[in-house]
Structure 1
């Protein structure tokens, strides 16, 4: 595969190599691809969060809400019923 960089990208890469910050173009590309992958994961997580918020907002609009204190009380009761570790 052949990759063509824009002049400003090439200057950036060359400067980083000359600074000794990275040892090779391969190292720079590996970091770039890792960051791209992380960015895609963040975008996916954000999309899922937006969907959950939209669903929750719709539930609120329909009056399908539960008091937060009641939820925490229910969870505490479940915890209290669990066997204690010795």
Structure 2
């Protein structure tokens, strides 16, 4: 088991009351359990955000590396011409 370190935290009164109520209902055995779970969820969320950001960066890079962009007016003109020709 990893080493345990004791910390003191400060939070708004509303959060502290919610934490106490949660422990009092028996959902958690201690305030420390609540905080540990909250930190685990926060870490998972951060990891997910980092992965999504990396995927977005890769998509932007792929787009930039794919070649020069076309003007929207040119693209729409070509599409109109194609669909008009098919009609």
Q: 1:38 aligns with which of 20, 44, 53?
A: 44
Question: Distance in 1 between the 2:59 and 2:13 partners?
Answer: 43
How much has 1:59 moved relative to structure 2? 3.0
RMSD: 1.7
Indicate the residue corresponding to 2:30 in structure 1: 24
Once the two structures are superposed, residues 11-35 of structure 1 have per-residue CA deviations (whole angstroms, 9 ceiling, x without a partner) of 1101111221111111111101101
Equivalent residue number for residue 59 of structure 1: 65
Map of 1:47 onto structure 2: 53
TM-score by length of 2: 0.63
Runs of 5+ unmatched residues, structure 1 = 64-86
Q: Distance in 1 between matches of 2:67 and 2:51?
A: 24
Deviation of residue 60 (structure 1)?
Answer: 3.5
- Any runs of at least 4 consecutive aligned residues in structure 1 with deviations exceeding 6 A, and if so which? none
- Aligned residue for 1:70? none
- Structure with higher Rg: it is 2
Q: CA deviation at 1:53?
A: 1.1
Q: How many residues align?
A: 63
